[in-house]
Structure 1
């Protein structure tokens, strides 16, 4: 499709005229269906109208330009941590963004210089320069370099930030794209190296080659120098499956290829490639997750119990037995305690690394195999009560790179060596005086008696109810853990820091549907039990009121994607409790979500609205269907991207139109680039942070634009 015309930093409010009647039709048909025409002239005219109106209001708010400049300075500060992307043998790669390179520079440094804390960087690809030279708005999606030489690379670039990208072969030794090399046109491709002259490719092969979720369902083997059309079939998934994938994993010096058919978001069948390309089925249950290879063992995470092994545990099979067709029973590797959850796992040549949550605080474990059935376990000495992210690992050196941070503690990057000893490599300079604030963890009691944790940041000495911003997600096993207040990833950069600096409260709620306490915490809010996640949110918000921290009508709810659905539900179900709602890249029309872009892939989470029994429970919370004429709703702020090819922009557009059509004020900010993550570069992210701060002040503090 042609590159979209870009609108410069815009948004919307109630004064913007609605370009269609909002009272429905005699037949009951959706009067706003035309807003699902993503690039339709009429739909984009409405978007521009909304955008211009809110742009006018929020840019005129006191402090907007100061906030924008401060956010941009923070987001482009060259003192930010150069986090490792991947480790390729003795080389560490990093994607570096700053003021001069908002789209990023992909670069490398030797592992030795990086772990010494003095990396000597060499530029590989300047994404900004490449985009300028080629006349494309490229957004970096990563590179897959063929191990163990790491010379031949498959570089993925997205035009404008959509999930679909272009794949091009690049030579790390020459520093150039390979003339006549492997190239795939824009699609949601899944591709990996079979060998130096062969790819395994799942992509859009034309009519009938995609699933109903919009992902590839046909995997082929493509030989160098031949047309893609002549590639040979390897595996085919069904049209109703979610999609088909392919990837490789290293077991020390041995490289293995795996194929998956994702039957739903949470179930899959998997195969490992044996001799002569034969696919051998793995013994993993369809609900289990592959985590890596180590010492000839295949490691898997159990989302459901398996025999005597509980859900949430790690188990292993011997890969040689699998390849021989005699996998046998799995062996226990690690089982967390009741208050704990395994959040992520990675392997190096001789060690297994586990990022563990314990009452939502992070720990890092190093496991080393002693024999076929037992492991030695070391708890790495990292800061207490911190969020730990497992960033990358160096296979041959048996080293893990982790970042530790909290609301008030700036991120510090550590290298953890083979002995389990951490070494601080780089710390982000403090962006504010942490001694002026407090960080607390509380537990609210949900409607069914479940204890729901939440983190609270506010100024010391705060007394009396103050406006509060509550962020949550509550879905897809994704745990929410506190990060530094200037870098909250889904909260528009430094928005949280702006908010607490005003003397207000910032809250991160760990509602059910996420992975904070393992699979059971997620499963408790699946499908017909979705309302539990929302009851958890309300319990946290009401706990703020009960503790005197905030007050009804002075609380804003915030969420993005599935969290945007949550915020939309809170808006429609509890307008008495909330005074504002930040709704990012949201699902909102749950009657049609499964027919919009990748929506069909999430039916395992929400249910199928075309099945009457499922719609019976979905319709009780679907925000778009639950907007009622005559009800006063707090003014929401919708932010999203036209080029989001995961969650359809029609959700937010239609919700805004329906609310406004019933006389409710609406703020609206639709970027024309950025994909599902919305902002395509720090300049856009900085504007969003300033706009959201202005929006919160407008709705919760009563601040008005300068006259």
Structure 2
């Protein structure tokens, strides 16, 4: 069988039945083969143990989320594999051993309720911070149960006593005040979009049944999602709703007191935000307005009330160039902080609005070959304070505290988890088929220079997700310490050079993503860094699709591939779970003119029994309710039928991240590096 041409002829559709016992037995049988081959050795056990110790150690930074005087943190360690939700004050956090106030012990809760709870997040009501909306999933799925929690009594509020509670669904629940929330959830028939997200937003008052919640906005079935929210900035309170018409376009409205909607007339593919008097618009495509042309990637500012009154005289507070893009931004009480990428390396700036316009200057130094991020901005209660975190491929994370105009003070420093002595980071550029220069980072021991060696390159290439340097103890232990070379690619589809780095390769131009990755693979060989036989590739989700294309279109470039929680059957992806929400990225396979270009790369339709493929490890999760596990299952079954060398492993829980706790994460990571070690370092020995 040369691929699967049409869904109706697909002999493996039965593997799309997620929890069918026949399908699960099939998965377990393949799991046994993988464990016996890759997870039964002393070397694997040692690596898995080291990674687990790293994930469980108290020495790692407990990254906080600031809410006024409180710093909240979700923490996992060996004694609490499911995790603790806790908080402390800034003064206490600055100590070497902070005294944390534990709010929820998820392990104890899961035991008491006999549920496989995985933490999903907490929405704390401000300014009181006496209540929170707690999200939890069963096994790590996107669909979550939401329950109201009393922070003062440390108890969940029973729905019978007026507590807000939503059963398992892909819900959106946001505070308005202590007795009112905005809710989007599965209200019954026709209340969800085709993508499985809320289609209707309602206002729900305490003590009333969900069926009596008041509808404030409705979208259509072919939207991605609808949501509603409340900006509680004192003196600037605003209610708003959003309608995501596809993954990259959203209509935003202010919700007036009389229930009417006031449309924000900005490009639907732009990202808009507001703070007090200012409206900010980050453009994803060029925009001509008010007699001025603004480029894609520009950040525009305007007085919000003047904008609502019809003014369109924006000030461009950031304008990109060929090498520089805006990576992020956020407000302190009086300033706007910008994070930029210049050839995928960060630089930080502070901008200040004044009566004569905006002024700007550098905020802080950012080391090269590293990523520095601004976090914990709290303009409502935190003044002009902020935190910085910085790390590189071989430099563990450092957390610093500062304020605009002040000096940064080191708060926390993570230890190194692998021997990085002699390991260096370099940046190179490869020329893709259309002449575009595509950057990538190479991390290797200096003694490897001049000698081709085992190398693994990772990639994603989609949804404007930028990949920047970051410390990875797991890859250091599992690969760099063993003498391997690690490569992080910045192929198109990401946002490393602004929105056009992404939009230029959507839909019919998707092939350029794969040409970029292949060009880097060839460049690595041309530079003498590796050989095709010693080169591996790894990617997950959209990056798993990338791996499937590498297997079927560029098999000669690789010695081994790891394909994680992937999309692979692009004929049916839009019919499975959240797949319909990604049509704006890939195209609609039900439209012949769009299936024409999708069909040329869809891995499941392009496998060939007569081709020579490198060995591949496919991994997925039964509980992944974002990318359907059927993609990986069916691809494995087809490769098996065609006689190709493959391995398949399915975590029976874990969601889209592939793991539900640190032990599962350690196993998954150890499996990948052991696979590459056997395939790229030991094959032929």
TM interval, short-chain normalised: over 0.9
- For residues 356 and 94 of structure 1, the distance between their equivalents in structure 2, rounded to whole angstroms, comes to 27
Cα deviation code 1:508-563 (max 9, x no counterpart): 01000000000111112111111111111111111110111100121111101000
Q: Which moved more, 1:676-685 or 1:116-125?
A: 116-125
Mapping of residues 656-671 of structure 1, within 5 Å: 656-671=636-651
Report how far residue 325 of structure 1 moved: 4.8
User: Once the two structures are superposed, what CA deviation does each residue of 1:299-334 show, in whole Å capped at 9, x if it has no partner?
Assistant: 221111122221111112323345x55454433222
Matched residue SS, 2:82: coil
Alignment check: 8 A CA contact 1:698 1:704 kept: no
Does the CA contact (< 8 Å) of 2:418 and 2:481 recur in 1? no
- 1:18 is matched with none
Alpha-carbon separation, structure 1, partners of 2:63 and 2:548: 34
Give the 3-state SS of the residue equivalent to 1:275 in structure 2. coil
The residue that corresponds to 2:454 in the other structure is: 467
What residue number does 2:152 align with? 173
- 2:438 maps to 452
Between stretches 593-602 and 184-193, larger displacement belongs to 184-193
- 1:320 maps to which of 301, 305, 310: 305
Question: Aligned to 2:283, which of 293, 302, 310?
Answer: 302
Q: Please state how far the C-alpha of 1:460 moved relative to its aligned partner.
A: 1.6
Provide the C-alpha distance between the structure 2 equivalents of 1:277 and 1:151, rounded to a whole number of angstroms.
29
Structure 1 residue aligned with 2:245: 263
User: Is 1:127 the counterpart of 2:111 in the alignment?
Assistant: no
Do the aligned partners of 2:442 and 2:486 also contact (CA within 8 Å) in 1?
A: yes
Distance apart, 1:116 and its partner CA: 6.2
Q: State the 1:238 CA deviation.
A: 0.7
Measured in 2, the distance between the counterparts of 1:26 and 1:425 equals 57
For 2:565 and 2:468, the matched residues in 1 are separated by 20
Q: Deviations over 1:622-661 (max 9, x none)?
A: 0000001211211211111101000000000000000110
Q: Quote the Cα distance in structure 2 between the aligned partners of 1:372 and 1:624.
A: 59
How far 1:194 sits from its partner (Å)? 1.9
In structure 2, stretches of 5+ residues that fail to align are: none
Are 1:391 and 2:372 matched, yes or no? no
CA-to-aligned-CA distance 1:546-586 (integer Å, 9 cap, x gap): 11110012111110100000011001111111111111110
TM-score normalized by the length of structure 2: 0.95
SS in 1 for 2:348: strand
Query: Cα offset for 1:173?
Result: 2.1
- Structure 2 equivalent of residue 373 of structure 1: 357
Q: Which residue of 1 aligns with 2:37?
A: 57
2:49 equivalent among 69, 85, 91: 69
Shift, 1:118, TM fit? 6.0
Q: Which residue number corresponds to residue 9 of structure 1?
A: none
Q: Secondary structure at the match of 2:427?
A: strand
The 1:476–1:547 alpha-carbon spacing in structure 2 relative to 1, beyond 3 Å, is same
Number of residue pairs matched? 675
Mapped partners of 2:543, 2:167: distance in 1: 32
Q: CA deviation at 1:75?
A: 1.3
Match of 1:288 among 251, 270, 295: 270
Tell me which residue corresponds to 1:219: 201
Q: Deviations 1:607-631 (Å, cap 9, x if unpaired)?
A: 0000000000001100000001211
The equivalent residue for 1:242 is 224
> Shift in Å at residue 704 of structure 1?
9.5
For the aligned residues, what is the CA RMSD?
A: 2.1
Give yes or no for contact 1:162–1:644 (8 Å, CA) kept in 2. yes
Structure 2: distance between partners of 1:236 and 1:564: 34
Aligned residue for 1:360?
Answer: 344
Match of 1:4 in 2: none
State the 1:363 CA deviation.
Answer: 2.0
Residues 143, 169 of structure 2: 8 Å contact kept: yes
Distance 2:334 2:616 in 1: 51
Partner residue, 2:185: 203
Does the Cα contact within 8 Å between 1:332 and 1:373 map onto a contact in 2? no
Q: 2:608 aligns with which of 628, 641, 648?
A: 628
Partner of 1:525: 505
Q: CA deviation at 1:379?
A: 2.8
Between 1:375-384 and 1:249-258, the stretch displaced more is: 249-258
Name the CA shift for 1:330/1:25 in 2 (closer, same or farther; >3 Å).
closer
Aligned equivalents of 1:579, 1:27: Cα separation in 2 = 31
Q: Is the 8 A contact 2:376 2:387 kept in 1?
A: yes
Per-residue deviation at 1:150?
Answer: 1.9
